[in-house]
Structure 1
Amino acid sequence: MDNIHAPTVPSGPSSRPITNGNAKHLSFAELSQKKGNLEAELKALGGVLDSHGVNMDTPLTRDGFPRADIDVAQIRTTRAKIIHLRNDYKDLMNAIEKHLHEHFASLQDADDQPAAARTGAGMMGDSIQQTLDEPFAKVNSVVPGSPAYTAGLKAGDEIRNFGYVNKANHDGLKKVAECVQGNENQNILVKISRPAEATRRQELHLMLTPRQNWGGRGMLGCHILPI
């Protein structure tokens, strides 16, 4: 018998328009627009689950039978849509990260900063010229050998963006945890501001890959606090 808790996901290809094959041909502006659309749709679907008082893991049976106090069919359908959208979102973020890599690689030849400025694995560029979001969190500590350490995060770093999370939507850092859970073993672009001198800061882009079984607790190995 099928597991009633598991969303019903068709075995055929997703009907969603975002795939690796399509996304790579879009411009950065188009990718950004689709990213916003996906985030809005995921938020709306999350609201559907909230309206039923459930989440992606809430049991849908009681004493071995479907619960009568909730609409099990609608919840399973909504969960299935969320799974598809999360997969599409991962593909889309990979395409956006590729665009960013190519963009900053093209700027590197004209960059006056020495190559030694890239001090961490996955670190991209120093003093990046762009419109910066206001920091919303600060790195309190980083465990050596952790995914955060490998990415180049350091205590004192201020986080401007964590994937799709920023000051406007971080919701007390809950969205950071959501982003981490939804992107296990996937690259997340993290934009940070780091003290460099008394009156100067470095603006850095890091690629952080959350993963289990790295030898410590959690999937990041760092402790961050809201600002």
Structure 2
Amino acid sequence: MGDNIHAPTVASGPTSGPVQRDWSKLSMPDLMQEKEKIEGELSALSTVLNSHGVTMRSTLTTFDGFPRDDIDIPQVRATRVRMIHLQNDHKQVMQHLEKGLHAHFAQLQQAQASATTNGTSVPSTAPPVAPPISVADASALGTPFAKVNSVEPRSPADQAGLQAGDLVRAFGSVHWLNHERLSKVAEVVQQNEGRAVLVKVSRKEEGGSQTTELELQLTPRRNWGGRGLLGCHLVPL
């Protein structure tokens, strides 16, 4: 009977506290995993605050200065502290992801700067300069973040040309850095019912190793004969 019904099970996230992690030593895939862990724990902790009917800014005292007796004040305080640590970690991770993107584009520009003259590669004398980039530009890298698990016949997804096995690189404005476990895809779908959404996918050819990059127009709609607005099932990678 000692269980607290306001404390859902929270997956253990990145260590936060007095010992600061050296995010610079992590690879881009590892940083992405840390980002997902942090966002998952923040989401779970938000449900704890919601269960008490409070936010990060809600007062914990009554109008006359006494502690509120309708909430578990120690748990709310502990949850807020943990969320602050996680938010700081998230900011650090995103900064290192942006640095990684800058480095990636610098490498691309360096490769493009090497001109081929009479079959001989002549490197450019000018040092490569990475173009300005933010996390919002990350979709340009096209890293897949979801897989099409199934597509219903005659559904909007089927009519758009989606196939099971396709890897989603962009869904409207959603890409690998901001999909938040596909929750943002659901938002785009709801906000664009009846309007075409650009979906970029990678498709591996049957019986071969070649991959084709496709840009499809998918229009979410109801009453197509099945459930949902798309008629397909996406799973995060």
Which structure is higher in RCO with an 8 Å CA cutoff and minimum separation 6?
Answer: 1
**Rg comparison, structure with higher value:** 2
If the length of structure 1 is used for normalisation, what is the TM-score?
Answer: 0.49
